[in-house]
Structure formats: structure tokens, C-alpha cells
């Protein structure tokens, strides 16, 4: 059973065990294609019973993986007719040249042949090691196996099959009322390292049984991603393969056109994306802390985002988090090199949770009379907030990040072995 959570004045029926197949008309299955892993399912199919409007956001890394290139090409011409997504883990099919792009396209055709649809109705996703060609014979076998096992109950194994260094699958769904009718949004994501705005080593698949026109769907997805997946950072690295896809198949019979329904659906979609983004940060490679960084008092939201990102990716700040050392000077120093002009004598800094749980460390650029033990106790929590106000305006933003531990180094020192 779900629980009712409030989000921006609306109530969503949150289904924590929900998946991408919770919305009506979607099926999924996973298979062990042995692409890299000998003992896990590493290929998944997500299929709609009918054509979907689709929207997608891709990595801004100039070294884009072959499935990103193929996905962009497909979306440009066929965003109103998508039927399936194929995703594999263990091999990124990135920096693989023309053969890699041909393999991505061949993967689309393999899926199309297995499902009796067209290649341009398939979007490919890959995650894993860069610079290795896909084993196409194994891809073929995995696709055929998954196609024969499609089920409305396959959403959980789909989320499990895209994991790499993730320690657990990331998924949920929510139901929302629109003019007295219920529509459902489901989602899954993977990501643990190479996580940073624009986007991260992350794949995200969102589904809904609402009917939404493709251009509107694209606008809503970009808004949701801007306030969720592009507000997280684990290590400051942006991957070659980042992709978030949203499919709308209209199986609920509810068409979203009214302004009030658009606003409610947008809030629900952003909520789902934010929760998935938080799951990624909490599962960050080697992470022991989940830290919310609020920057307020800037002239523009972009200024606040620039400062918050600089703090969130500072190795000195993140190692202070890891050591439970309330070395707030590192936070101010990071803010000061973000490229945003402000008067340090106007800066104020708090740590903790929501008021009155906050402890003010800095006022008007000057240390307060706080107790060091109190500050250290907050930094020792597994979850806490940092709020920095620079006193220059009314804009603000929030980002979420982790600490940087020895385990992160260990995981990434032998990732290919």
C-alpha cells in the first residue's frame, strides 16, 4: 500500500514498491546476457503495449556514447512512436567509434525483430566500462530471452538489471488525481559514481499511462530533470552515457491538456525524479553521508546553483564530511571560488536540519560563539543540511551531495578488474 505525501499542495499516492511497469500498459523483463557479469541479469527490456510519446534528456559530455548518439537520432524523427527501451549493464559502448554506433543501431533492430516492431521505435541505453565493443552475440541472446519473458510484474528485475556499482535497485511510482481521474507515473534509475549535473553516470526511465503530447512531455521532463537529477553530485564527474527517458502511452485514457492538470502532473513528475535522484546520492560509491546544500541570498538561481555545486564537489569539503570535521572555512572558501561575486562580510552559515535544529556558525562573515562539539556532532550525522546565505538577493537553490571516503577510491581504483 502507498502512503499519502504532500508535495507542493497536492497529494500523491506514493507506491514505494512501484516500478516502471506500475503504470498501465507497460511490461518489462531482464536476462543474463553475460555482457560483463557472470552471475547477474544485465540486460533489460521495457515495452509498451501501444505507441508512446517520448521525451529524453542526454549527457552534455562531448564524448557521447553510441547509444546516446543513436537515441538522439531516433528521438529527432520518431518521438511520437516509441514502443521499447533496451538497456544493458557492464559495457557502456562509449568511445567505440563507428563499430560501436553500428552495434547500437543493430541492437535496436534486434529488439524490433524480437517484438515485431520497427527499429526506430526502440531506444537503446548502456552503462559500464568505456572503450569496449558490445558482445553482439550475447546481446542477441539476452534480447531474445527478455522478449520471451515480458510481464507487467517485471519492473523490479528491470531496475536490478541496470545496476553496476549500485548496491540496490532504485525505483518507485506514484498515483495522482487529474480532474477526478487517476494517472500513474513509474520510474527507475541507476547511478552510484560519476554523478554530477548535466547529468551523471546515470540512467533513468520514467513511464506514465497519461496521454501527453510529445513537445509538452519534453518540456515537463526537462523541468523535472533540472530540479532533480541536475541538482545532485557524488564526485563531480559527468558520464558519457547519461540518459533519462520518459514514455507516455495514454493507457489510462486521461489526456493532459488543461493548465491545472499540467501543473499537477509536473509536480508529480518532479517529485518522482527528485526521489530517484536522492536514491542515487544515498547510494553514492563509498558514501556514508547524505548532505543537502542550500544556497540563498543570490541575485539569480544560476548564481546559487554555481555556488552550491562548487561546495558539493570540493574534495576538501567532502573529506571534511567524511571525517565529521565541521571545518566550515572550507565551505566558505569553496563558495568564494565559484565565480559569483559577493561580499564575504554579508555571508551567514548554518548547519543541522530544519529550524530550530540549525546551528549558526557564521554571521556577517564572522564566526559565532558556537560550541565546536555541537558542530562536530551535526557533521557526524548520516544526514544533515548546510545553509549558506550570501546576502546579495532573493534567489536560492538546493543540491544534494555525499562525503568522499577511502572506499570511493578503492571502488574506482580497480573498476575494470
Same domain, 236 and 324: no
Residues 387 and 349 sit within 8 Å (Cβ to Cβ)? yes
Asked which of 263, 282, 301 is the last residue of a domain, the reply is: 282
Q: In the predicted model, is pLDDT for residue 153 greater than 70?
A: yes
The answer to whether residues 304 and 267 belong to one domain is no
What average pLDDT does the segment 223-246 reach?
82
Is residue 176 predicted with pLDDT exceeding 90?
Answer: yes
Q: 104: which 3 cell numbers?
A: 547500437
Q: Are residues 119 and 199 in the same domain?
A: yes
Domain end, chosen from 249, 266, 282, is at: 282
Both 151 and 257 in one domain: the answer is: yes
DSSP 151: B
Judgement on whether residues 216 and 316 belong to the same structural domain of the protein: no
* Mean predicted confidence (pLDDT) in 386-408: 90
Pair 123, 73 in one domain = yes
Q: What is the pLDDT of residues 298-331, one digit of tens each?
A: 999 999 999 999 999 898 998 999 899 999 999 9
Considering the domain architecture, whether residues 294 and 366 belong to the same structural domain is answered as yes
Residue 294 pLDDT more than 50? yes
Tell whether 224 and 103 lie within a shared domain: yes
pLDDT band (50, 70, 90) for residue 407: confident
At 295, which CATH number? 3.10.20.340
Best CA proximity match to 379, nearest among 351, 349, 408, 347: 351
Q: Using pLDDT thresholds of 50, 70 and 90, give the confidence band for residue 343.
A: very high
Residues 43-93 pLDDT 10s: 999 999 999 999 999 988 888 999 999 999 999 999 999 999 999 999 999
The candidate with the shortest Cα–Cα distance to 267, out of 54, 5, 42, 2, is: 5
Residue 224's alpha-carbon distances to 82, 104, 173, 220, in angstroms, are: 21, 27, 15, 6
Average pLDDT over residues 115-125: 98
Instruction: Judge whether 288 counts as a catalytic residue.
Output: no
In the set 19, 145, 184, 201, the catalytic residue is 201
Task: Say whether both 216 and 313 belong to one domain.
Answer: no
Q: Which domain holds residue 266?
A: 3-282
- 244, 260, 282 - which closes a domain: 282
What is the pLDDT averaged over residues 248-264? 95
pTM comes to 0.86
- 100 with 194, same domain: the answer is yes
Phi, psi (degrees; rounded to nearest 5) at 121: -100, 10
State percent of the chain over pLDDT 90: 75
Q: Tens digits of per-residue pLDDT, 177-231?
A: 998 899 999 999 997 544 445 544 579 999 999 999 999 999 999 999 989 988 8
20 and 82 in a single domain? The answer is: yes
Q: Residue 103 and residue 114: Cα distance in Å, rounded?
A: 16
Separation of alpha carbons 390 and 304, rounded Å = 9
b/e 59-78 (16+ beta carbons within 10 angstroms → b): bebeebbbbbbbbeebbeeb
Determine phi and psi for 357, rounding to 5 degrees: -80, 0
What is the CATH classification number for the domain harbouring 190?
3.60.70.12
**What is the reported pLDDT for 84?**
98
Of 15, 6, 26, nearest in space to 252 by CA: 26
Domain count, the chain: 2
Residues 6+ positions from 43 with CB-CB distance below 8 Å: 30, 31, 32, 33, 35, 86, 87, 88, 89, 139, 142, 143, 146, 161
pLDDT band (50, 70, 90) for residue 417: very low
In this structure, are 251 and 343 located in the same domain?
A: no
Amino acid at each position: 500500500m502507498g502512503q499519502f505525501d504532500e508535495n507542493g499542495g497536492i497529494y500523491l499516492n506514493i507506491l514505494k514498491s512501484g516500478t516502471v511497469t506500475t503504470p498501465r500498459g507497460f511490461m518489462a523483463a531482464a536476462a543474463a546476457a553475460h555482457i560483463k557479469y557472470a552471475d547477474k541479469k544485465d540486460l533489460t527490456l521495457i515495452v509498451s503495449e501501444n505507441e508512446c510519446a517520448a521525451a529524453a534528456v542526454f549527457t552534455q559530455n562531448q564524448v557521447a556514447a553510441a547509444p546516446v548518439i543513436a537515441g538522439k537520432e531516433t528521438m529527432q524523427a520518431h518521438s511520437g512512436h516509441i514502443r521499447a527501451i533496451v538497456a544493458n549493464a557492464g559495457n557502456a559502448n562509449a568511445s567505440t567509434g563507428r563499430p560501436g554506433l553500428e552495434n547500437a543501431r543493430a541492437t535496436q533492430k534486434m529488439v524490433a525483430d524480437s517484438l515485431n516492431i520497427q527499429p526506430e521505435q526502440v531506444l537503446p541505453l548502456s552503462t559500464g566500462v568505456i572503450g569496449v565493443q558490445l558482445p553482439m552475440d550475447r546481446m542477441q541472446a539476452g534480447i531474445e530471452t527478455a522478449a520471451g519473458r515480458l510481464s507487467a510484474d517485471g519492473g523490479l528485475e528491470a531496475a536490478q538489471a541496470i545496476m553496476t556499482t549500485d548496491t540496490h535497485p532504485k525505483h518507485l511510482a506514484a498515483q495522482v488525481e487529474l480532474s477526478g481521474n487517476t494517472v500513474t507515473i513509474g520510474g527507475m534509475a541507476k547511478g552510484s559514481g560519476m554523478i554530477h549535473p548535466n547529468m551523471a553516470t546515470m540512467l533513468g526511465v520514467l513511464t506514465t499511462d497519461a496521454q501527453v503530447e510529445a513537445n509538452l512531455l519534453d518540456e515537463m521532463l526537462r523541468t523535472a530533470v533540472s530540479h532533480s537529477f541536475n541538482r545532485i553530485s557524488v564526485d563531480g564527474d559527468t558520464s558519457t552515457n547519461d540518459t533519462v527517458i520518459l514514455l507516455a502511452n495514454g493507457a489510462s485514457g486521461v489526456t493532459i491538456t488543461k493548465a491545472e492538470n499540467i501543473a499537477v502532473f509536473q509536480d508529480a513528475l518532479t517529485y518522482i525524479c527528485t526521489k530517484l535522484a536522492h536514491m542515487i546520492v544515498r547510494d553514492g560509491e563509498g558514501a556514508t553521508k547524505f548532505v543537502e546544500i542550500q544556497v540563498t541570498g543570490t541575485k539569480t538561481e544560476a548564481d546559487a546553483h554555481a555556488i552550491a555545486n562548487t561546495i558539493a564537489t570540493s574534495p576538501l569539503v567532502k573529506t571534511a564530511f567524511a571525517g565529521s570535521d565541521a571545518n566550515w572555512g572550507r565551505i566558505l572558501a569553496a563558495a568564494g571560488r565559484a565565480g559569483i561575486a559577493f561580499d564575504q562580510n554579508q555571508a551567514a552559515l548554518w548547519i543541522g536540519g530544519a529550524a530550530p535544529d540549525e546551528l549558526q556558525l557564521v554571521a556577517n562573515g564572522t564566526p559565532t560563539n558556537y560550541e565546536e562539539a555541537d558542530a562536530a556532532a551535526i557533521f557526524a550525522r548520516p544526514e544533515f543540511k548546510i545553509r549558506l546565505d550570501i546576502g546579495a538577493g532573493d534567489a536560492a537553490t538546493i543540491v544534494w551531495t555525499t562525503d568522499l571516503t577511502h572506499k570511493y577510491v578503492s571502488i574506482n581504483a580497480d573498476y575494470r578488474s
